Amino acid sequence: MAEGMQKTGFSEGFDRRRSTGLKGKVQDLAFSLQMQNEEIGVEKNQLESIKSENLNSSNGLQAQLSDIKRYFQSDVQRMEEEFRVQANLQKSENVRLQQQLTTLKGEKTSIHQQIIALQRRLEEIEEEIGHE
């Protein structure tokens, strides 16, 4: 029986090369399909390999993206904190300047009143001197 299979395999190969009839064409188609299936298998393996590489690459890029995101988040938080500190300092400075302005306005009013009082006193003195 094994001898018959070997003979059949040999005769199929021999027949495929030499047969021009329907049986030969069917054998040629079968052989062609087998070769295409093998090529498809090879292509599938290559595709799986590419998918795996892409997945690994995507994971690496995702990790890099996560690192960059964490870096920028911490940087933004730092800048926000610096801004809050500077804003608080500016508020304090504004309050201080407003108090100083209020004090200066009060002093100006007081000096203006003193000037008016001195002008009146000067006028009184001039009237006294002028009448004598």
Does position 126 have pLDDT exceeding 80, yes or no? yes
pLDDT higher at 104 or 10? 104
Mean pLDDT, to the nearest integer, of 96-114?
97
**C-alpha separations of 26 from 9, 16, 105 in Å:** 15, 9, 111
Q: Please tell me which residue, 44 or 19, carries the higher pLDDT value.
A: 44
Domain ranges of the chain: 2-131
State the Rg of the chain over Cα. Answer: 51
Q: What is the pTM of this model?
A: 0.46
Whether residue 23 contacts residue 14, with contact meaning beta carbons closer than 8 Å, is answered with no
User: Average of pLDDT values for 8-16?
Assistant: 45
Phi, psi of 6 (to 5 degrees): -65, -40
